[in-house]
Structure 1
Amino acid sequence: MRDFAPPDLRPFGYFVHHQGRGHAERCAALVNALPEARPVRIFCARDDIFPPLRPNVTITRIPSLFEPTGQEPAGAALLDTPETMHCAPVGWRGIRRAMGQMAAFFMAEAPALMIVDVSAEVAQLARLCSVPHVKILQHGDRTDPGHRAAYDSAAGLLAPFHSALDQPEWAGWADRTHHAPGLGLRTRMPSQDAARQRLGLGGATVALVVSGQGGNGLAEAPLGVAARGFPQMRWITIGEVQRDWHATVPPNLEHRGWVDTASDHIAAADVVVSSTGNTTCAQVLSAARPWIVVPEWRYFDEQVEKARALDSAGAALHLPHLPGSAHRWRRVMHQAMDRHDPDRQRALAGNPDAATDAASWLERLSARLWDMAPDFQHHDQKDPTHA
């Protein structure tokens, strides 16, 4: 039976949220760094968002836990959601199928670990099925009972960022947390000169505005105000921008939309204004540019808390919203330039060994959970999940 197989031969399970590509890219980097002999079973509602995966890694496509099909009973939707859950509607056949597929995997394969990126419900399912789980740690106000249950019951927490960006309330989890800044992200940036040459920007002073993929983007009107306030600068936006009918767009403001050259644009910039998505943060930290962060709306105020952490760590200037006047824009631009600390930014960016180090931590954690000698349990009181 799988329960009695050596711990290094038992599979790891891995749940991947399918919004955007960041979760999938992080997963691919991590599982590809695991030993070739380690089987991995990925559960995700999409199978087309992953980079190439090594042999011995399979993807099981499951129904979305978050998107209705239109066949759900309206009456059941009136049931209150308990505080221990976030997204647990009643009567959804897709959720039953998805959770059933993972529970069947737990029973048949007895996985050594279940990595959850991210769902408090899936994390709790693993624990209820007697499978140890590793929860990806995310910024945000996650003090609710649902998140607390997922984190408190985890065998370990994997934080894909530098420890200097931890939120104060996480101190109690420090001995179970492994930090992997830059995990799954392209943090090696081109030189500014090379990036400018490829983009044809010449010697212009460039302010780059970056919106992430997970939301509706930043508003156009305040960007027009900024560009008019700095007519000597070239303002370029990449990503989604919310168009405003009343916006007066000057000629030095250019919307480029979605591009495949985000890293070049960030490297070419003299100052960056952005939301705080994972990929954007890693790239701006690596490029070490003066940086203004304006969080977009996300569940549990994820980007708000990350922006606060970046500001507290001396890596960026956090604004709650885009300035609404030219004089305010001038003030915050000067603030961002004056407090810019490129060495601090690079120190927080991470390193190319993040995936290898995290994979080694997972292997050590698995071995200690499943292969403890009796004297270890009685005499060594150190937390076996400590990285």
Structure 2
Amino acid sequence: MKGARPVGYFVHHQGRGHAERAAAIANRLIDLRPVTLFCARDDIFPELKSGIRIERIPSLFEPSGREAPAMASLPMPETVHCAPVGWPNITQAFAHIARWFAEERPALFVTDVSAELGHFARLCSVPHVAVLQHGERGDPGHMAAYESAVGLLAPYAASLEQRDRPQRLRDKSHYASGVGVDCRPFPTREDARQRLGIDPDRELVLVVAGGGGEGTPTAPLTLGARAEPDTLWVTIGQVRSEWHETPPGNLDHRGWVDNPRDWIAAADRVVSSCGNTTVHMILAAGKPWIAVPEWRYFDEQVCKAEVLDREGLAAVARHWPAHAAGWEKLWAAARLIDPERQRAVIADDPAADAAAWLDETAQRLWRGAPPHPPLEVVA
């Protein structure tokens, strides 16, 4: 590691998945070369190994109240997604990163996720790796970022790639299925239920609500639970209710929990959205599963759901069921899913593999380059 160029890693602070996979990779990469994480928050990361630095930067996505209102309605060029004009936060964040580029002369800059920072790294003559996500991302902004990247890091299996992903992008992609997600073998159903205090003989449907949106709507859940009065329906995570609901007694909202693995292990059947962390936890557990995509930019969850449906890994609903028969149709499909096929999608040690790939990419790119003293930074 001595003398190795560092890796910079931008981490989006929405949700949990970006920080979790960045931490997992950084904890392996730090044994090979220095790592610096750039994020608007420093309190969202799991435990990091000694030596990993976190540089707080202003948010690129949230106004500070100091923006120039006259420029708020300027049209966005098709080559970018989030590049408003007159935002001091963005100016300061980019200046912070540019100064680090000049002082540290990094081997790579990883973006998870920001097409604009990918463009920025390339324009600063710093090779960058873009984290690849599902979604309708064939627009000029995404494609320019992907084309200019020296590599793409996909936090899912190659078998879950979208059919419309160009082969030239697949060829420079590293697939790390389940990276950052706790996919260790799950406890048995019996052990999990004993810890949770749940009747070992009662049917349990678990609804896993993610943290990246407004919450899972509970009105459709009341319909599913009411149709199965002898089955316990439990939600974990963020949910939202509507005034017209008539909640049945077998629907229990637990909110955020510290032991989602126990709940998933205890469940007989699972309902969830299609966030990356949630998807990989359920795949690792192997369960009859209904997946309902939530709204996300670029139809990210819709495209992920389509892939899960294509591969026979989940019963996918295009929208929340509006009546009991809708639920039963989905459960009939979910019962046909092979749990072993679900578990086979998860990689054994994706974080270590991703870290090794990043290190090998850096070595290949910088082979034969002279030593890297810091550049002169003009004040």
The answer on whether the counterparts of 2:315 and 2:331 sit within 8 Å (CA) in structure 1 is: no
TM-score, with structure 1 as normaliser = 0.92
Structure 1 unaligned blocks of 5 or more: 1-5, 374-387
Task: After TM superposition, list the pairs within 5 Å mapping 1:144-155 onto structure 2.
Answer: 144-155=139-150
Which residue of structure 2 aligns with residue 252 of structure 1? 250
Equivalent pairs counted in the alignment come to 366
Which residue of structure 1 aligns with residue 26 of structure 2? 31
Can you list the C-alpha shifts for 1:177-204, whole angstroms capped at 9, x where unaligned?
A: 1111111110122211111111111221
User: Could you tell me how far apart the structure 2 residues matched to 1:317 and 1:281 are?
Assistant: 12
Which residue of structure 2 aligns with residue 332 of structure 1? 330
Counterpart pick for 2:343 among 330, 346, 358: 346
Verify: 1:356 aligned to 2:352, yes or no.
Answer: yes
Q: What is the CA-CA distance between 1:329 and the residue it aligns to?
A: 1.3
Can you list the C-alpha shifts for 1:275-295, whole angstroms capped at 9, x where unaligned?
A: 011221111111100001001
Counterpart pick for 2:128 among 120, 126, 133: 133
Can you list the C-alpha shifts for 1:77-105, whole angstroms capped at 9, x where unaligned?
A: 11101111111111010100001111111
**SS of 1:56 mapped into structure 2:** coil
User: Could you tell me how far apart the structure 1 residues matched to 2:286 and 2:32 are?
Assistant: 39
Identity of aligned residues (%): 55
Which residue of structure 2 aligns with residue 193 of structure 1? 190
Verify: 1:212 aligned to 2:207, yes or no.
Answer: no
What stretches of structure 1 move > 4 A for 4+ residues in a row? none
Structure 2 unaligned blocks of 5 or more: 370-379
Instruction: Decide which moves more: 147-156 or 29-38.
Output: 29-38
The answer on whether the counterparts of 2:30 and 2:52 sit within 8 Å (CA) in structure 1 is: no
Task: After TM superposition, list the pairs within 5 Å mapping 1:1-387 onto structure 2.
Answer: 9-36=4-31, 38-170=33-165, 171-188=167-184, 189-202=186-199, 203-337=201-335, 339-351=336-348, 353-371=349-367
The answer on whether the counterparts of 1:7 and 1:366 sit within 8 Å (CA) in structure 2 is: no
Q: What is the CA-CA distance between 1:365 and the residue it aligns to?
A: 0.6
Can you list the C-alpha shifts for 1:130-188, whole angstroms capped at 9, x where unaligned?
A: 11001101011111111001111110001111111101122331210111111111012
CA gap 1:67/1:73 in 2 versus in 1, 3 angstroms = same
**SS of 1:134 mapped into structure 2:** strand
User: Could you tell me how far apart the structure 2 residues matched to 1:372 and 1:304 are?
Assistant: 44
The answer on whether the counterparts of 1:275 and 1:295 sit within 8 Å (CA) in structure 2 is: yes
Instruction: Decide which moves more: 127-136 or 14-23.
Output: 14-23
The answer on whether the counterparts of 2:32 and 2:359 sit within 8 Å (CA) in structure 1 is: no
TM-score, with structure 2 as normaliser = 0.94
The answer on whether the counterparts of 2:220 and 2:320 sit within 8 Å (CA) in structure 1 is: yes
CA RMSD of aligned residues (A): 1.4
Opposite residue 341 of structure 1, the aligned amino acid is D
**SS of 2:245 mapped into structure 1:** coil
Can you list the C-alpha shifts for 1:286-326, whole angstroms capped at 9, x where unaligned?
A: 11000010011111111111111111111101111111011
Opposite residue 217 of structure 2, the aligned amino acid is A
The answer on whether the counterparts of 2:289 and 2:315 sit within 8 Å (CA) in structure 1 is: yes
Opposite residue 206 of structure 1, the aligned amino acid is L
Q: What is the CA-CA distance between 1:56 and the residue it aligns to?
A: 2.7
User: Could you tell me how far apart the structure 1 residues matched to 2:244 and 2:324 are?
Assistant: 16
Q: What is the CA-CA distance between 1:54 and the residue it aligns to?
A: 2.1
